[in-house]
Structure 1
């Protein structure tokens, strides 16, 4: 009889696959037009693709387990796969922003700052009436998110978001064997 993989072992390949797909999508967008990386629709496409792939690999693992999976197993599988995917993405983004094109960080930071200002205007706040020191703090905060330390801190905070996403995926992917009910 073939031995089943633990959720941790089973999550390595899907995590690497999702991370590499995400990285490929990022680099394709970068080579087409680097401003795409800061657009909302690009982020939406990436999130939808991420969830589709996680659901696919999660259902595939559940099938390997005989069609049933507990919530804990589904959560562990999802969380490990997401963390591995995130690490692959982090490495790729560090390469992109620190080695391949260090000027890209400034362009995306400016784009993000302009987006923040337009959102504020849509809520009735006039950026011209704001304290210049606050505007400069917003601009530097946007720029700091692309530094090496900013990227590492963002990944650390992302672990909380990853856990929440894994909880949701665990609830979706779990399936109990009702034949065992008395």
Structure 2
């Protein structure tokens, strides 16, 4: 009896949940160490490296399951579905953190994000004191709104575009053509 190979959707479910849980673990560890880490660029970079490493690892596992070869389309479908599932798991965990576990955290992160934005402006030669107060108020409001429940859901929606781009990159890395079929 021949073994049935999973579709990209079926194969992406378990890796997606695993990547989402790892992302949540990293988020919660950063929260317990120092919640301001969650608004840091270094935290985002470390999380992205871990995310890419896991996605490539699971993609190579699936390619091996398929016999060592995978088309670009299959690799894209697998990657995108795994990333979306991971994003949903992470979104639920972050909503739980921001709305239930520590409802004051969004305000703390908004302030840190606002301060980081001002520091970045200064590093590019812009003096925040010379900016109109309306512009500073708008920047602060945007920082605060991104950590609300609606902001988190909206960010996930816009994140789908980023997920598609990441899945395209991963598909380019993971695809492998059977050159023996070229003849």
Q: TM-score range by the shorter chain?
A: over 0.9
1:133 CA drift (Å):
1.1
Matches within 5 A, 1:87-166: 87-166=88-167
1:168 aligned residue: 169
1:33 CA drift (Å):
1.1
1:55 aligned residue: 56
What's the CA shift string for 1:6-46, capped at 9, x where partnerless? 00000000000000000011111111111111111111110
Deviates more, 1:132-141 or 1:5-14: 132-141
Counterparts of 1:111 and 1:69, CA distance in 2: 43
The ranges of structure 1 where at least 4 consecutive aligned residues each deviate by more than 6 angstroms after the TM superposition are none
Count residues with an aligned counterpart.
182
Counterparts of 2:70 and 2:125, CA distance in 1: 49
1:169 CA drift (Å):
0.5
1:3 aligned residue: 4
2:47 aligned residue: 46
Counterparts of 1:99 and 1:56, CA distance in 2: 33
**Structure 1 unaligned residues grouped into runs of 5+:** none
TM-score (norm 1): 0.99
**Structure 2 unaligned residues grouped into runs of 5+:** none
Counterparts of 2:54 and 2:166, CA distance in 1: 13
1:72 CA drift (Å):
0.3
1:147 CA drift (Å):
0.6
1:105 CA drift (Å):
0.5
Counterparts of 2:96 and 2:48, CA distance in 1: 21
Counterparts of 2:33 and 2:128, CA distance in 1: 32
Counterparts of 1:96 and 1:68, CA distance in 2: 40
Deviates more, 1:124-133 or 1:55-64: 124-133
Root mean square deviation, CA, Å: 0.6
1:160 CA drift (Å):
0.4
2:182 aligned residue: 181
Counterparts of 1:32 and 1:64, CA distance in 2: 39
